[in-house]
Amino acid sequence: MAIDIVSKQSTTTVLYVSILSVDLVLCRGLNMQPREWINTAVRIIEADFNRSADTHLVPYPLPAFPKIHLYFKDESSHPTGSLKHRLARSLFLYGLCNGWIHERTTLVEASSGSTAISEAYFARLLGLPFIAVMPKSTSPEKISQIEFYGGKCHLIDDPTAVYDESRRLATQCKGLFLDQFTYAERATDWRSNNNLAESILSQMQSEVHPIPRWIVCGAGTGGTSATLGRYIRYRRLDCGVCVVDPENSVFFDYFVSGNCELRCARGSRIEGIGRPRVERSFLRDVVDLMVRVPDAASIAATRYLSQVLGRQCGGSTGTNFYGALQLIADMHAEGSEGSIVVVLCDGGQRYQHTYFCDSWLAQQGIDITPHYQAIQRFVELGVKPSWSGERSPSCCLSAASR
Ligand SMILES: Cc1ncc(COP(=O)(O)O)c(C=O)c1O
């Protein structure tokens, strides 16, 4: 049964929707009973989940450190290209099952782009209008992907104003502010349901060191580190969660001081991670260690990793990798063996105008060369550099006990 679609959606979407029946996507104007619509919506999201394969766990050999096994959890292989595909699915199910999302709900989100891309995808599955409120500095690649899925982009100058502007827009159109920064930790099932942690641990089962010594990720909402930290505690695993933080972010200082009133005037330059305020989904008590990484080191690590993996990664993956290198150096210095898993958050295609553009680096006054050379010498020759950035005290059982 083909359903008429309002003209503002792209030709591809019209073609896409007119071919498929209501079984796969929900279209407007069906006047279903509210519960029937919610049931159909949940079924469609679960069916989409069922059609999706899990993301890969990619080993990366370190000849200079044979006793340490490094892996990348490649979240760029999700249908919408980032780790935010999991969160978007959870937020939609959370909104539907809370009775907040209905047949005519306009959805609004404050995002650095990745979450908005994934939410636009699910909004299209349910035939709902979606508006992404984002900083004007968001990469054009991300903006066009949101529009490809039928979303609208509402760009603002001040990155710290995305929350209030999203709330204002949602009130204005009597819609729903999905609010990932508040609900990420609540909407994600941290005990199972193939969350990121469960997926990593099940894919590590046949490895030499199946329980990673460290899992390294960044924090935007804090949802990823909350899920990882809770899951490993729930499963009573001797594994630590290390969270990296870029410049212009409050998470590192908040982790060390506990002061949740901290603020930053500027937004982070590493898209997706680092926040100008302490987000409600960032759970400090389930993080075991934090590493602050300068942007130049993050981008150098992104470029180096993209070169050695043979495909481009996003900036936050570079930040994660730089943090992991320091943990490798620690384990090597201790003479201990084990495995480390790094979250590969998204692909580099989205950052051609920034991290992979030399003139943008020059404009930002960022010189990656010394960091790039230091990373290369460390990974390939085992020559330990003096790391840039800062480390928090560790409160990880495993690190302390050994
Ligand atoms: C590319 C990228 N990496 C990492 C993160 C951090 O994830 P989380 O919001 O779960 O803390 C985000 C969040 O938006 C992201 O977009």
For ligand 1, pick from 76, 90, 114 the residue to mutate: most ligand atoms within 8 Å of CB: 114
**Residue 115 CA: which ligand 1 atom is closest?**
14
Contact yes or no for 269/365 (Cβ under 8 A): no
Output the CA torsion 372→374→375→376 (10° steps): 80
Pick the closest to residue 325 from 70, 57, 59 (CA basis).
70
Give the Cα separation of 116 and 123 in Å (integer). 10
pLDDT interval class at 4 (50, 70, 90): very low
In this structure, what are the phi and psi dihedrals at residue 56, rounded to the nearest 5 degrees?
Answer: -85, 155
Closest residue by CA, ligand 1 atom 16: 272
Indicate the average pLDDT of the chain.
91
Whether 246 is in the pocket of ligand 1, judged by its Cβ within 6 Å, is no
pLDDT at 65 over 80: yes
pLDDT above 50 for 1: no
Under 8 Å between Cβ of 367 and 296 = yes
**Cα(169)–Cα(120) distance, integer angstroms:** 16
pTM score, whole prediction: 0.91
Task: Give residue for tokens 């999700």.
Answer: 78
* Ligand 1 and 118: CB distance under 6 A: no
Provide the pLDDT for residue 134. Answer: 93
Percent of the chain topping pLDDT 90:
84
Residues 128-156 pLDDT 10s: 999 999 988 888 899 999 999 999 999 99
pLDDT interval class at 394 (50, 70, 90): confident
Question: Average of pLDDT values for 256-276?
Answer: 94
Query: What distance in angstroms lies between residue 138's CA and the mean position of ligand 1's atoms?
Result: 14
Q: Report which protein residue has its CA nearest ligand 1's atom 2.
A: 272
Rg of the chain (C-alpha set): 21
Cα separation of 235 and 153, whole Å? 40
pLDDT value of residue 138: 86
**φ, ψ for residue 178 (rounded to 5)?**
-65, -35
Note whether 131 and 29 are within 8 A (CB). Answer: no
* Ligand 1 geometric centre to CA of 302 (Å): 15
Interval 347-385: pLDDT, tens: 999 999 999 999 999 999 999 999 999 999 999 999 999
CA torsion, points 372, 373, 375, 378, in degrees to nearest 10?
170
- Identify the pLDDT of residue 27: 58
Domains of the chain, CATH where assigned: 56-82+186-392 (3.40.50.1100), 83-185 (3.40.50.1100)
Residue 398's pLDDT is 46
Is 105 near ligand 1, meaning CB less than 6 Å away?
A: no
**Burial grade of 156 (CB within 10 A; 0-12, 13-18, 19 or more):** middle
Residue 194: the pLDDT is 87
The pLDDT, as a whole number, for residue 28 is 57
> Would you state the pLDDT for residue 396?
52
Residue 221 CA, ligand 1 centroid: distance in Å: 7
Distance CA 67, CA 394 (A): 22
Residue nearest to atom 4 of ligand 1 (CA): 272
State in Å: Cα 37 to ligand 1 middle.
Answer: 31
Q: Per the structure block, which two tokens stand in for 17?
A: 């929707």
pLDDT at site 79: 96
Answer whether residue 225 shows pLDDT above 80: yes
Atom of ligand 1 nearest to the CA of 111: 14
For residues 240 and 232, what is the distance between their CA atoms, to the nearest angstrom?
Answer: 8
C-alpha of residue 220 to centroid of ligand 1, in Å = 5
